Amino acid sequence: MTLTQYQQEMLDGRYGKGKALAMRVQKTIGEGFRAQRMVPITRAHVALSAQEADTWFARKLRDAGAQCAVPPTVNPGYCLKYFQQMGRVDEKSSALMRETHQVYQDLGAILTYSCTPYLFGNIPRYGETVSFSETSVTVYANSVLGARTNRESSASALCAAITGFVPEYGMLLDENRRGTVLVQVDTPLQGEFDFALLGMNAKRIGPGVPVFAGIKPSDVTTEALIALGAQLNVAGMVDLFHMVGVTPDAPNLERAFGGRQPERTVTITREDLEAQRALLMPQKYEQADFVILGCPHYTYDQICRAARLLKQAPAVVPVWILTSAAVVDLARSTGMAGQLGESGATLVPDTCVDEAPCWGHLAGQRGFTDSPKCAYYMRAFGVELDVTTCENCLALAAKGGKS
């Protein structure tokens, strides 16, 4: 891989050990993917977590003198104030979250603690080269916004933020962004949960860049696109999708495929969606011990929907709604947060469902979520969730009843 003089000087340590280490990581990744050169980025998002390995690597860079050339937004850890008040986290976990905050602050990160930076604060333009990590962030930026990023790890995105460069390969290249698989959706999609079910068919769709046809643009919302992308990435490691008449590189099939014929065609029917639904909730339960929503973080519109539903039938078991601090502030200013509180729901900012110290106490209880991704992550520390629509989740929360 050919480096510019400035990049070589960075690698040689002229600008400090921290930048040299970050550039060495980037160069090694580039060589692994046979990249020919490094290209500059204008934005970054780091999938921070309050877990030891992530913080160890960030600390190593910080202690070597690194500073971010491109200040990145960051993913959620967890809200120390809320969980300490609840008595849910021990001092070791709290100390790690405080250190995580301090280390990333020292590096120059923008501590948004949100997994939906593409909705506020870090929204790339069409064609902009960025370095984004996190499952919903990468695919949304590539597909919906038309920016260019590879499926970065938290470590590689942080190194990109420190150096200001990424190796040019994968989704940064025109030839890799063209559609390869035609996915004919042969059923109407109703709400973002149907879009999540569609994304869960990633293995059936197979490898490549899917182009979705047959979806009415009027049925597509921001939340639907988030749900689809998140599940495509979790279930199939999809970096980019196109949707005819919706996403910027797919005004028509010819443009989406770059003038080529699809390598294969896959048809998704209502039966395919229902098969995925059955996997998420194999039994019909009549009781819930808790509900957790917001993976990815809920938008303000989703919070308003939850408030309307809970106003009609308040929750009698805990309902946690995870979202960004910015959305919490908006909900407070409009009175929506207060309405949710009166109906038995709690808005939790800055927090991810994958933080075991916060949620591990729920193991053994019967929980529900509207996010397949949430259920996938929380299973790792023993919390089993059934997955259904937001409406069904909140109806169960209103019915309650310990199992």
DSSP-derived secondary structure for 53-75: HHHHHHHHHHHTT---SSPPEE-
65: left (phi over 0), alpha (psi -120 to 50) or beta: left
Is 87 a residue whose pLDDT tops 90? no
Q: Is 381 exposed, middle or buried (0-12, 13-18, 19+ CB in 10 A)?
A: middle
Residue 66: which of 25, 36, 27, 29 has the closest Cα? 25
User: What is the structure's pLDDT at 40?
Assistant: 98
Summarize the confidence of residues 82-100 as an average pLDDT. Answer: 90
16: left (phi over 0), alpha (psi -120 to 50) or beta: left
Summarize the confidence of residues 55-77 as an average pLDDT. Answer: 97
216: left (phi over 0), alpha (psi -120 to 50) or beta: beta
Mean pLDDT of the chain: 95
- In a 13 Å sphere around the CA of 346, the CA atoms on its Cβ side amount to 15
Is 286 a residue whose pLDDT tops 80? no
Residue 362 — pLDDT band, cuts 50, 70, 90? Answer: very high
Summarize the confidence of residues 311-329 as an average pLDDT. Answer: 97
Is 67 a residue whose pLDDT tops 90? yes
Residue 88 — pLDDT band, cuts 50, 70, 90? Answer: confident
Is 50 a residue whose pLDDT tops 90? no
Question: Going from the N-terminus, what domains does the chain have, and what CATH number goes with each?
Answer: 5-174 (3.30.499.10), 178-278 (3.40.50), 282-399 (3.30.499.10)
Residue 402 — pLDDT band, cuts 50, 70, 90? Answer: low
Residue 100 — pLDDT band, cuts 50, 70, 90? Answer: very high
- Please give the Cα distance from 7 to 20 (Å, whole number): 9
User: What is the structure's pLDDT at 403?
Assistant: 44
Query: Do the beta carbons of residue 370 and residue 299 sit within 8 Å?
Result: no
User: What is the structure's pLDDT at 274?
Assistant: 95
- Please give the Cα distance from 321 to 364 (Å, whole number): 20
Is 401 a residue whose pLDDT tops 80? no
User: What is the structure's pLDDT at 234?
Assistant: 93
